[in-house]
């Protein structure tokens, strides 16, 4: 099991944070794209590290052309000596149109074309193939010598795909190297009943197997030492659930758990701009419905039993004191020693 940790904030902080994660023994460093640019952050992280894999989580695709992201990913792959993966996300309609000022169309078929065009661009640079990609949304049929960076001495960048719905999960099974379930609103039940079966359909349609991709462990999970921490951490999780639960795109998770009314209430509060009230609108029982719990020391066994499909997971551990660093190193080592079959139980191929 490979361990992931995130970095964020101002890009000037990225080199130090990435180097620190590498020193602590993490396998993968990720960054989101909320208030800062993910590609710039990863480029800076690449300059300060030597071993750790670098992955955006996520880069918002549709406001940029596939050529723009293909070029940036190519440069970071060369800069990092082959350690870069680009994690793509589509965002929701309102943000694409009203925050980014872009366009919106059916996201699953569009991101499929997007990925195909990015790979067509890289193939033309790496293997000198003729540009000949024509889709409904995108086309790539021209590459002049002045604009061709040429091959690099590394594999093509990996592509990850973020998802909540079954349609995107199927595209992930067809095209992605890394399956990235949306950690902001996810349950183990939803993973097993909706996302993973859809990923399997994509694998079958494309003639691939579970070993052809990596899946990030997902599902709300509270880690604790003392049982009294459980309620405290669940109360803190209300902020995350209130934010993502206010967006109708993510209501499919809530509906599976019988929490439709909560989603409608949160959406209504967001439309009214009553952001401060949203957290208090989430009862702890709703968080508990979505969440699994596990003691820190029991985590390796939990992963073997409940995340058998995964080959990577995000883990945040305190490492301020010598004692905390020693404990973190021990637990991280035990988790990294976990080997999973990577095929979800009941969905083997």
Top-level CATH class of 2-225+294-336? Answer: alpha beta
How far is residue 81's CA from residue 75's CA, in Å, rounded to a whole number? 10
Q: Tell me the domain boundaries of the chain.
A: 2-225+294-336
How far is residue 315's CA from residue 212's CA, in Å, rounded to a whole number? 24
The string of DSSP codes covering 213-268 is: SEEB--S-EEEESSTHHHHHHHHHHHHHHHHHHTSGGGHHHHHHTT-HHHHHHHHH
* Spatial contact of 282 and 245, defined as CB atoms under 8 Å apart: yes
* Spatial contact of 291 and 237, defined as CB atoms under 8 Å apart: yes
- Segment 70-80, tens digit of pLDDT: 999 999 999 99
Distances (CA, A) of 95 to 8, 92, 102, 271: 21, 6, 9, 14
Question: What pLDDT, on a 0 to 100 scale, did the predictor assign at position 62?
Answer: 98
pTM listed for this prediction: 0.96
Place of tokens 């758990």: 257
- Segment 251-268, tens digit of pLDDT: 999 999 999 999 999 999
Residues of the chain with pLDDT under 70: none
Place of tokens 């059916």: 106
Backbone conformation region of residue 125, classed left if phi is above 0, alpha if psi is from -120 to 50, else beta: alpha
How far is residue 19's CA from residue 70's CA, in Å, rounded to a whole number? 25
How far is residue 253's CA from residue 264's CA, in Å, rounded to a whole number? 13
């Amino acid at each position: 099991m490979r361990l992931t940790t995130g970095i964020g904030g101002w890009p000037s902080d990225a080199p130090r944070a990435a180097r620190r994660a590498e020193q602590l023994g993490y396998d993968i460093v990720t960054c989101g794209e909320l208030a800062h640019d993910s590609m710039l952050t990863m480029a800076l992280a690449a300059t300060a590290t030597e071993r750790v894999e670098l992955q955006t989580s996520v880069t918002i695709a549709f406001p940029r052309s596939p050529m723009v992201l293909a070029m940036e990913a190519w440069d970071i792959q060369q800069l990092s000596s082959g350690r870069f993966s680009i994690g793509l996300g589509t965002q929701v309609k309102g943000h694409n149109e009203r925050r980014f000022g872009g366009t919106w169309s059916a996201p699953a078929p569009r991101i499929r074309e997007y990925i195909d065009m990015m790979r067509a661009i890289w193939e033309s640079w790496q293997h000198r193939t003729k540009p000949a990609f024509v889709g409904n949304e995108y086309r790539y049929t021209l590459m002049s010598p002045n604009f061709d960076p040429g091959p690099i001495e590394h594999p093509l960048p990996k592509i990850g795909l973020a998802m909540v719905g079954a349609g995107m999960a199927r595209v992930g099974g067809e095209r992605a190297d890394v399956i990235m379930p949306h950690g902001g609103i996810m349950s183990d039940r939803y993973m097993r009943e909706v996302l993973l079966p859809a990923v399997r359909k994509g694998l079958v349609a494309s003639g691939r197997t579970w070993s052809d991709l990596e899946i990030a462990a997902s599902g709300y999970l509270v880690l604790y030492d003392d049982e009294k921490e459980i309620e405290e951490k669940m109360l803190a999780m209300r902020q995350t659930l209130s934010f993502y639960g206010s967006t109708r795109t993510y209501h499919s998770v809530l509906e599976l758990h019988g929490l439709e009314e909560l989603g409608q209430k949160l959406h209504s509060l967001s439309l009214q701009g009553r952001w401060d009230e949203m957290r208090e609108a989430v009862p702890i029982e709703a968080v508990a419905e979505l969440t699994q719990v596990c003691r820190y020391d029991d985590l390796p066994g939990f992963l073997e039993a409940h995340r058998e499909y995964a080959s990577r997971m995000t883990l945040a551990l305190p490492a301020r004191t010598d004692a905390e660093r020693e404990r973190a190193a021990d637990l991280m080592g035990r988790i990294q020693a976990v080997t999973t079959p990577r095929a979800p139980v009941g969905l083997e191929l």
